């Protein structure tokens, strides 16, 4: 992944309530929780301290080639 993807994913994982995400098996929620934990320990401080403007820019960059939202 490139940095915009990491910013968008980190922002989403840090704000989403995993209990509200529909999954076929509880292991999927555990995998997301593990990913967030791993990201917190390994990402650059810049990603973890992204401003609203950084997140908006990352969202734009990550979705610019998509035809859906």
* Domains held by the chain: number: 1
Is 57 domain-assigned? yes
Q: Burial of 8 by CB count in 10 Å (0-12 exposed, 13-18 middle, 19+ buried)?
A: buried
Whole-number Å distance between alpha carbons of 7 and 67: 21
Is 21 domain-assigned? yes
* Domain range for 39: 3-63
Question: pTM (2 decimals)?
Answer: 0.75
pLDDT bin (cut points 50, 70, 90) of residue 6 is confident
pLDDT in tens, 10-60: 899 989 999 999 999 999 999 999 998 888 887 777 777 788 999 999 999
Is 40 domain-assigned? yes
pLDDT bin (cut points 50, 70, 90) of residue 69 is low
What's the pLDDT at 1? 59
Is 10 domain-assigned? yes
CA angle 18, 24, 28 (to 5 degrees): 45
């Amino acid at each position: 992944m490139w940095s915009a993807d990491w910013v968008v994913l980190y922002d989403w994982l840090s704000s989403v309530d995993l209990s509200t995400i529909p999954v076929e098996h509880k292991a999927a929620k555990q995998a997301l929780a593990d990913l967030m934990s791993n990201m917190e320990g390994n990402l650059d401080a810049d990603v973890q301290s992204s401003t609203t403007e950084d997140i908006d820019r990352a969202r734009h960059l990550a979705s610019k080639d998509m035809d859906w939202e």
